[in-house]
Amino acid sequence: MRKLISIFFLTFIISLSNNIVAQVKVEISNKIIQDNNGNNFYLHHVSKGQTLYAISKAYNVKVDKIIAINKGIESGLKEGQDIKIPKITKPTTPEISADKIAPEGFVYHRVKKGETLYRIMYDFQVTLQELQKFNKNLNANIQPDQQILIPKLETRIALQAESKYDSLINYTLKRRDNYYRLSKKFKINQQQIEQLNPSLKTTGLQKGLVIKVPYVHDEFQAPKYEKIVLDSIIAKDDMINVPEQELVDCGKISHNRHIYKIGFMLPIYANLDKEIDVDNEYKIKKQSYYKSFRFLQFIQGAKLALDSLQKLGFKAEIYIWDTQANERKTDSICNLEDFNQLDMLIGPFYRKNTKIARKYAFAKNIEMVDIFGSLSTDNDTVKSPGYYLIKANEQSNYNSLVKYISDSIPQYRIYIIHQGHTDEIQRLTYLTKALHSNYLNIDTNRIFIYKYQDGGMSKIINSLSPTKENIIFNLVNDEARISNFLRQLNLKKEDKNIMVMALDKYWSKYKTLEIRYLSNLNYTYSTDYFINHTDSNLVIPFQNKFYNTYKRMPEELGYLGYDLSWYFGNALYYYGDNFFTCLNKFKPKTMHNKILFVEVKEGVYLNTRLNIIQYDNYQQLIKN
């Protein structure tokens, strides 16, 4: 078993570090056709080895636009096939006076009517001090059409990096220079060189380029590498109704050549390989039975995502560590030199291990993805370099259900029933906070709260409206009572519109709830994990690829491994390791849930996006 896992990981790391296979060159066609609406298209003849991605790059047209006008090609191109490519006419660019061409690493922003200086600071996530440094006499009294010079994200990082060194000099790159030679010569590593010279992430090391490096002398002591985390500008209340403007620059890297270091920590339990006995076929059990196989699916899904990202040009060194769900083992991993050099850590999975890993990640400025959101950050005093809680909290669950009511059900009465137990009162607090939220249009006069002990069930049944949607939240933590509650409501379903709502994290544990009752009562719940197995765009192709690669169908951890690696891999590739400033400006497609982060504390981001699922005719349908 241990040998099998070692071979799997070795193959994984090697495959990610290999160079991308050279693609067949794509020549732009000189054949142009026109449709009935006057739109022009190139008629491209597909040659052997050409991919849809390579063709899209050659014509500078997005893949989804090509697929939209060539039905059926999403499943693959065929040699000799003719496809249409939209012929895009480049808009003419107005002349810009020479003094208004922004220097490298900067952009000019033209002030719009009604725009404030604070709004510009927020949109570009740049401080007032930084703006005033490059715009003399700049103050809050800005005028429409005024040009403001704004440093790009990588420029701001470079300026902060420069301040760490006593003296810098210009160095012209030579033919044989590489990062290893430069690190020996100037006593700093690749990450520090790229901090000082962010353009190297795009151009790479080229002979003749002039870069900034520290002046090395006898007493020179290079500062230790630390990831630079820029301060965030927080939106003010009076900005809420201001129309959001598209960011002119969000730190997007057009050709990101940086090699990112990503670590996975998960309990593989490689030490339990003796449990597996394949010599006797009668003793062979399903893979899910063995602890050692449960989390391998996460890595298998992650590998498929990283393979796809590699084809786009993403480069990463992947480290996989087996925590064995052991605190001492986790602590020893966190003390490894490779751990200290990480850009991002994904995992570990258990609370006790996550607590240890987070302490080290914060200290080393490593961005961390907490998959199950098992830790509270309320009492943290240390600024996080980027801590991403994937699992939405309970408040977000109730917010999502109430938002669905507000958006989709115009006529309603809301009933809430509980027994008064401590955990139920906590749920009631979350729910009532959502129902009284200022940004949701809920009529609080239509909310009725009852206790079981006071005949609450009978009161609800006797007051159900014959004309409105009766929405009932049962907060009781008692499976037998919930089963009886569903049975009684089902008897009233014929002459009343009834919808039962709850959180999947609670009701999914109950095994005696009858499906026919849930279906008849339009049971609606929130969950941050739901797979639509009929989705032919994402889910079915992934299932086929997973099965063809691993000879088994993906389970929950397989989907999660792919989605999270795809999401954060895209974030690093397109926006660099300060991608948190652009979290909600890019939306890579994921299968289990769309991801929407909200900063709940400085450097701490919570996913607040959930699926709303409703039972309808024995099917579970996504409603948002």
3-state class (DSSP) for residue 151: strand
- For residue 608 the two structure tokens come to 């607040």
- Is the per-residue pLDDT at 465 higher than 50? yes
233 belongs to a structural domain: no
Ranked by mean pLDDT, the top range of 8-17, 32-41, 424-433 is 424-433
Question: Lowest mean pLDDT: which of 26-35, 146-155, 461-470?
Answer: 26-35
- For residue 113 the two structure tokens come to 């009517």
8 A C-beta contact, residue 567 and residue 590: yes
Q: pLDDT for 528-548, tens place per residue?
A: 889 988 888 889 999 999 999
Question: Lowest mean pLDDT: which of 9-23, 147-161, 168-182, 245-259?
Answer: 9-23
A 10 A CB-CB count for 567 gives 21
In a shared domain, residues 76 and 137? no
Indicate if the alpha-carbon torsion angle 8, 13, 19, 23 is positive or negative: positive
In a shared domain, residues 411 and 515? yes
In sequence order, what DSSP letters do the residues of 88-101 get, joined into one string? PPPPPPPP--GGGS
- Is the per-residue pLDDT at 365 higher than 50? yes
β pairing state of 447-451 and 412-418: parallel
More confident call, 295 vs 6: 295
Q: pLDDT for 261-271, tens place per residue?
A: 999 998 887 76
Q: Per-residue confidence at 122, pLDDT binned at 50, 70, 90?
A: confident
Q: pLDDT for 496-527, tens place per residue?
A: 788 999 888 888 888 888 888 888 889 999 99
Q: Residue 402 to residues 25, 46, 396, 408, 438: CA-CA distances in angstroms?
A: 53, 51, 10, 10, 12
- Is the per-residue pLDDT at 454 higher than 70? yes
pLDDT at 76: 77
Q: Per-residue confidence at 99, pLDDT binned at 50, 70, 90?
A: very low
pLDDT at 335: 92
In a shared domain, residues 566 and 522? no
Q: Per-residue confidence at 380, pLDDT binned at 50, 70, 90?
A: low
Domain boundary (197, 214, 231) is at 214
Exposed, middle or buried by CB within 10 Å (0-12, 13-18, 19+), for 519?
A: middle
Q: Nearest 5°: CA angle at 286, between 285 and 287?
A: 115
Mean pLDDT of 349-375: 85
Read off the DSSP letter of residue 356.
H
In a shared domain, residues 291 and 175? no
Q: pLDDT for 48-69, tens place per residue?
A: 878 887 788 788 887 778 887 8
- Is the per-residue pLDDT at 489 higher than 70? yes
Ranked by mean pLDDT, the top range of 91-105, 251-265, 424-438 is 424-438
pLDDT at 91: 42
Domain boundary (122, 141, 156) is at 156
pLDDT at 39: 76
CA distance 215 to 269: 49
CA distance 446 to 432: 13
pLDDT at 271: 64
Q: pLDDT for 392-403, tens place per residue?
A: 888 889 989 988
230 belongs to a structural domain: no
Domain count of the fold of the chain: 5
- Is the per-residue pLDDT at 363 higher than 80? yes
β pairing state of 469-474 and 412-418: parallel
CA distance 125 to 402: 32
pLDDT at 37: 66
Domain boundary (37, 65, 86) is at 86
Give the DSSP H or E segment for 212. Answer: strand 210-214
Taken as a whole, the chain contains a residue count of 624
Cα-atom radius of gyration of the chain, to the nearest Å?
28
In a shared domain, residues 304 and 363? yes
Mean pLDDT of 579-605: 81
Exposed, middle or buried by CB within 10 Å (0-12, 13-18, 19+), for 391?
A: middle
By C-alpha distance, which of 457, 507, 462 is closest to 485? 457
Mean pLDDT of 97-112: 75
Cα 467 to the center of its chain, rounded Å: 42
- Is the per-residue pLDDT at 95 higher than 50? no
Structural domain including 446 reads 394-527
In a shared domain, residues 417 and 515? yes
3-state class (DSSP) for residue 307: helix
Q: Per-residue confidence at 561, pLDDT binned at 50, 70, 90?
A: very high
3-state class (DSSP) for residue 481: helix
CATH at 143: 3.10.350.10
Alpha-helical segments (H) within 244-345: 291-294, 296-312, 327-334, 337-340
* Mean pLDDT, the chain, whole residue set: 81
8 A C-beta contact, residue 431 and residue 501: no
8 A C-beta contact, residue 28 and residue 86: no
In a shared domain, residues 131 and 181? no
In a shared domain, residues 502 and 544? no
Q: What percent of the chain has pLDDT over 70?
A: 84
pLDDT at 10: 39
In a shared domain, residues 263 and 151? no
CA distance 386 to 362: 8
CA distance 498 to 562: 38
CA distance 333 to 265: 9
pLDDT at 491: 85
Share of the chain residues as helix, strand and coil, in percent rounded to the nearest 5: 40, 15, 45
8 A C-beta contact, residue 333 and residue 321: yes
pLDDT at 222: 85
8 A C-beta contact, residue 498 and residue 463: no
513 belongs to a structural domain: yes
- Is the per-residue pLDDT at 86 higher than 70? yes
204: region left, alpha or beta (phi > 0 left; psi from -120 to 50 alpha): left
pLDDT at 376: 62
Amino acid at 434: A
623 belongs to a structural domain: no
20 belongs to a structural domain: yes
β pairing state of 40-45 and 82-86: antiparallel
225 belongs to a structural domain: no
Question: Lowest mean pLDDT: which of 90-99, 111-120, 445-454?
Answer: 90-99
pLDDT at 467: 86
114 belongs to a structural domain: yes
Read off the DSSP letter of residue 326.
-
- For residue 524 the two structure tokens come to 């609606």
Q: Residue 182 to residues 176, 315, 341, 484, 526: CA-CA distances in angstroms?
A: 10, 21, 18, 73, 53
CA distance 444 to 438: 11
Q: Where are the beta strands (DSSP E) in 6-45?
A: 32-34, 40-45
- Is the per-residue pLDDT at 550 higher than 80? yes
pLDDT at 259: 85
The torsion of the CA quartet 196, 199, 203, 209, rounded to 10 degrees, works out to -60
In a shared domain, residues 189 and 270? no
CA distance 478 to 547: 40
Contacts of 554 (CB under 8 A, 6+ apart): 297, 300, 301, 542, 543, 546, 547, 562
pLDDT at 292: 66
- Is the per-residue pLDDT at 617 higher than 80? yes
In a shared domain, residues 209 and 273? no
8 A C-beta contact, residue 17 and residue 314: no
pLDDT at 552: 86
In a shared domain, residues 378 and 277? yes
- For residue 495 the two structure tokens come to 């002459």
CATH at 479: 3.40.50.2300
8 A C-beta contact, residue 340 and residue 599: no
622 belongs to a structural domain: no
Mean pLDDT of 110-135: 85
